[in-house]
Amino acid sequence: MDASPIPASVDELTSRLLTGERAEQIARLVRRIGVADSDAERLEVRSPVTGELVASVPACEVPDVEAAVQRSQQAQTEWARWSARRRARVLLRFHSLLLARQREVLDLIQLESGKSRLNAFEEVMATASTARYYGKHAPAHLRVRRRAGATPVLTRAWEHHVPVGVCGFITPWNYPLTMGVTDALAALVAGNGVVVKPDAQTPLAALWAFELLEQAGLPPGLAQVVTGDGPVVGGAIVELADFLMFTGSTATGRKLAARCGERLIGCSMELGGKNAMLVLPDARLERAVKGAISGSFGNAGQLCISMERIYVHRSLFDGFVSRLAEQVGKLKLGGDLDWNSDIGSMISRKQLEATTAHLEDAVAKGASVIAGGQPQPEAGPLFFEPTVLVGVTPDMDCHASETFGPLLEVYPYEDVDEAIKLINDSDYGLNASIFSGSISSARALAPRIKAGTVNINEPYAAAFGSIDAPMGGMKQSGVGRRHGAQGILKYTEAQTVAAQSLLPLTPDAGTPAAPYAAVMTFGLRALRRIPRV
C-alpha cells in the first residue's frame, strides 16, 4: 500500500493557505459567529493531516444561541412573505457560485477534515445537486393544493404548507459542507430561519457556505452559525428551535429525540449504520470489487452510509477476496491538497483508536487480516491503512457495532435467503447495496432488506444522489427523511383552509336534530356511491 510521507508541499500549502488572503477569509468567516462576550473561550480547529492550527472559533454559550435564534426569527418574518419561487432563485444563484468558487471550499474541507480532494469534491457535488433540486422543485412541493371538501360543491378545501419558524441543525464533522448546509437549504427555501451548530472540529466549510448564500441573495441574519460544546450549544438549540434536524450517533439521537418529544416539536434524525453489501452469484466480479472499495473506504470509512459488511456468494468468495486484497493494496494514502491521493486522514485520535480497537479485538478472537491493518504515521499522525477482515464472528466487537473507520468485513454465504437474514440481523437499517447482473432480480430483492436506501450495482451514491427520492434510516438508524418532498415538507406545518358555501355543514341552533341526521345519513350513503369522493 502506497503511503506517501507528509510532503513538504502540505506544510508549504498549509502555511500559504493560512496567511495572506486565505487567512483573512478564515478570520472573516469566524467573525460571522456572533457571541455576546468578545472574550469568550476559543476552540482550536487543527488540520488532521499535520496538526497545524487552522483557526480558532468561539465556544458559544446559551445566551449566544438565544441571540442567534432571535436574529434568525427577526429575519424570518419577512423571508416567509417571499414567494417560494423568489426564495428558490437564491438557491439557484448559490448553486452557480458554489461551482464557480469550489476551489476555495475544497481547500477548507481538506484543511479541517483531512479527507482526499476527490472525497471533498463529493461534498461539492452533493451540495450543488441539492441546491439545484430545491431551487427547481421547491415551489411545486410547497404550492397550495386543492383537496376534496366535506360535501361536493358546497365545501371547498385547500392544503397549505407554512414554515415552522426557526429550524435548528446539529451537524457532524465527517461531511462539513454537505451535512453543514444541505438540510438547511430545504428549510430555508420552505420559508424558515436556521441556526446551525457544526462540529467544532470542522466549522469552516459551513461558515463559507452561508456567507456564499448571502452573496446569492439570502437576507442577512436569517442563517446563523454557532460553535461550541455539544451539550451546551446543541442543548440550547433543542430548547429554542421550532424543529430539529440532527445527524450523528444513535445514542445522542435518542436523548435529543426525547427532549423534542417533551417540547412537542418535530425532529428528523439520520443516525448510525452498519451497512451491508450483497454480492449475488451473477454479479460482475470486477465491478463488485470496485464498488466494495469505493463504498467502504471513501473518506477513510468515516461515512454513515458506507459499507462495513459484505456478503459474497460462496461461488465468488475466493476470487472476490483475492481481487479485493490486491486492489486495496494499490490505494494511495496522502494528505496533499491535490487530486493525487485515494485515501485521506482520519479526523481524530479518537476515531483512529476506535478503529484500531475493533481490529485488535477481531484479530485476537480469530479473524484474519487480508489487506491493510497498520497505521501509517509517515503519511500523517492519523492515517490508517484500508483494512479487510475475513473470519469475523458474532463475538467480535466489529460484527454488530459501527466502526466508522477504514475497516471492512467480508463474509461468504450459501443462498440468498441466508444472506438477507444476516444483513437484517442488525439494530441498524440505513443503507444497503446489491451487486447483480440482473437489475430486475436485485430490485425484487431490495424490499426484503430493512434499510432506508438500497443501491443496485453502486454502494451509496446512486440513492443519495437521487435528490428527488427520500433518504433516511429504518430501525435505530433514524427517523424522518431528507431529500425529495419529505425532505422539505417536514420543515412546514400542514394547514387546511376550508370554505363553506350556501348551506352550513353543521345545523343552526333550533334545527330539529332527527331530520338533520336523516338528511345527512342519506347524503353519506349517496357519497359512498360516487367514485373518489
In sequence order, what DSSP letters do the residues of 286-313 get, joined into one string? HHHHHHHHHHHHGGGG--TTSEEEEEEE
Is pLDDT at 266 greater than 60 in this prediction? yes
Which CATH architecture fits 2-271? 3-Layer(aba) Sandwich (3.40)
The band of 531, judged by pLDDT with boundaries at 50, 70 and 90, is: confident
Is pLDDT at 31 greater than 90 in this prediction? no
Asked if 187 and 131 touch (Cβ cutoff 8 Å), the reply is no
pLDDT of residue 490: 98
When pLDDT is averaged across residues 306-314 and rounded to a whole number, the result is 98
The band of 29, judged by pLDDT with boundaries at 50, 70 and 90, is: confident
pLDDT of residue 39: 72
Q: What cell was used for 344?
A: 485521506
The band of 344, judged by pLDDT with boundaries at 50, 70 and 90, is: very high
What 3-state class would DSSP assign to 192? coil
In this predicted structure, which of 35-49, 160-174, 471-485 has the lowest mean pLDDT? Answer: 35-49
Q: Where are the domains of the chain?
A: 2-271, 275-476
Is pLDDT at 6 greater than 70 in this prediction? no
Asked if 10 and 336 touch (Cβ cutoff 8 Å), the reply is yes
Q: What cell was used for 127?
A: 451540495
When pLDDT is averaged across residues 282-294 and rounded to a whole number, the result is 98
- Residue reference for cell 453489501: 277
pLDDT of residue 532: 81
- Per-residue pLDDT tens over the stretch 233-251: 999 999 999 999 999 999 9
Cα dihedral 507, 511, 516, 519 in deg (nearest 10): -90
When pLDDT is averaged across residues 274-293 and rounded to a whole number, the result is 98
Q: Which of 307, 293, 109, 267 is nearest to 202 (CA)?
A: 109
- Percentage above 90 pLDDT, the chain: 88
Query: Which sequence positions are flagged as catalytic?
Result: 270, 304
| Model confidence, pTM | 0.95
C-alpha distances (whole Å) from 130 to each of 85, 179, 469 are 16, 11, 11
Look at phi and psi of residue 483 and say left if phi exceeds 0, alpha if psi is from -120 to 50, else beta: left
pLDDT of residue 241: 98
In this predicted structure, which of 42-56, 63-77, 386-400, 401-415 has the lowest mean pLDDT? Answer: 42-56
Q: Around 15, how many Cα atoms within 13 Å sit in the side-chain half-sphere?
A: 6
Q: What does the H/E/C string look like for 471-519?
A: ECCEECCEECCECHHHHHHCCEEEEEEEEECCCCCCCCCCCCHHHHHHH
The band of 337, judged by pLDDT with boundaries at 50, 70 and 90, is: confident
Angle (deg, nearest 10), helices 8-17 and 20-31: 60
Q: Which of 204, 280, 271, 282 is nearest to 448 (CA)?
A: 280
Q: Is the dihedral of CA 478, 196, 297, 396 positive or negative?
A: negative
The band of 33, judged by pLDDT with boundaries at 50, 70 and 90, is: confident
Is pLDDT at 8 greater than 60 in this prediction? no
pLDDT of residue 30: 87
Q: How high is the mean pLDDT of the chain?
A: 94
- What homologous superfamily is domain 275-476 in, according to CATH? Aldehyde Dehydrogenase; Chain A, domain 2 (3.40.309.10)
The band of 437, judged by pLDDT with boundaries at 50, 70 and 90, is: very high
Asked if 105 and 339 touch (Cβ cutoff 8 Å), the reply is no
pLDDT of residue 189: 98
CA distance 334 to 24: 27
Is pLDDT at 522 greater than 60 in this prediction? yes
CA distance 258 to 422: 31
Which distant-in-sequence residues (6+ apart) come within 8 Å of 315 by Cβ? 281
The band of 335, judged by pLDDT with boundaries at 50, 70 and 90, is: confident
- Per-residue pLDDT tens over the stretch 446-469: 999 999 999 999 999 999 999 999
CA distance 193 to 168: 9
CA distance 369 to 190: 49
Is pLDDT at 10 greater than 60 in this prediction? no
The band of 19, judged by pLDDT with boundaries at 50, 70 and 90, is: low
pLDDT of residue 447: 98
pLDDT of residue 28: 84
